[in-house]
């Protein structure tokens, strides 16, 4: 039986995680995405509450998609990017509705990338793409492992293009990454899947 190419696979969601250096990295990724990518996007960026309004506006200006801060019980819509609010974990429920949680921090972070990635993996199984970008801890590695186990696609920013290499390198070292790409090539790769 032949191997199914990634382009032949049907993806329904994109999850992105970033920390130190991530604000500009996420903007770069979003700015390169084609409007053909009509799936919901969910983003966890480790951040301070003072960046609240700036962050969504900055990414809105960089993107062809609507970027909004996620609300509890948001029903996921195609072509919308949902950003985890500060001090809340962002989760994907089985019915593709978002929920927010104030459960304890994971990897010293709330929102946690692992929480988003793990719940998205369980909700979407083989149909989710996980992307880990620049960051200074290991948050996201466990979530990418769940995505990989469930048959989804995992992508890490090439560490030599990351402002902080620890986060993508942790994921790469864990052996769960399908594609390691320079930051500027990630959106092109994603566009070619749709």
Q: Give me the catalytic one of 19, 63, 164, 170.
A: 19
Count the alpha carbons within 13 Å of 63 in the hemisphere toward its beta carbon: 26
Q: Which residue has the tokens 């030599």?
A: 160
Catalytic residue status for 46: yes
- Long-range contacts of residues 55-60, Cβ cutoff 8 Å, at least 24 apart: 55/23, 55/83, 56/83, 58/23, 58/27, 59/26, 59/27, 59/30, 59/83
Q: Give me the catalytic one of 46, 112, 114, 170.
A: 46
Distances in Å between the alpha carbon of 165 and those of 10, 26, 29, 33, 148?
Answer: 30, 15, 17, 23, 21
DSSP run (H or E) holding 54: helix 52-62
Catalytic residue status for 89: no
Q: Give me the catalytic one of 112, 139, 170, 187.
A: 139
Which positions ≥6 away from 162 have C-beta within 8 Å?
Answer: 21, 25, 133, 134, 135, 168, 183
Distances in Å between the alpha carbon of 128 and those of 4, 44, 108, 134?
Answer: 16, 15, 25, 20
- Just list the catalytic residues: 19, 46, 139
């Amino acid at each position: 039986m032949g191997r199914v190419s990634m382009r032949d696979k049907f993806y329904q969601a994109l999850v992105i995680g970033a920390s130190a250096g991530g604000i500009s990295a996420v903007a770069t990724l979003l700015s390169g995405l084609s409007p053909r990518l009509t799936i919901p996007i969910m983003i966890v960026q480790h951040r301070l509450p003072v960046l609240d309004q700036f962050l969504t506006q900055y990414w809105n200006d960089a993107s062809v998609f609507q970027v909004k801060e996620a609300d509890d019980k948001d029903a996921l819509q195609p072509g919308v990017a949902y950003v985890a609010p500060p001090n809340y974990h962002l989760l994907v429920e089985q019915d593709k509705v978002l929920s927010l949680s104030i459960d304890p921090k994971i990897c010293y972070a709330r929102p946690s990338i692992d929480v988003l990635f793990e719940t998205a993996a369980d909700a979407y199984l083989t149909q989710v793409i996980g992307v880990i970008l620049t960051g200074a801890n290991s948050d996201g590695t466990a979530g990418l492992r769940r995505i990989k186990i469930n048959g989804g696609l995992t992508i890490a920013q090439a560490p030599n293009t990351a402002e902080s290499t620890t986060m993508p390198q942790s994921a790469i070292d864990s052996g769960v990454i399908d594609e390691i790409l320079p930051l500027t090539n990630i959106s092109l790769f994603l566009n070619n899947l749709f």
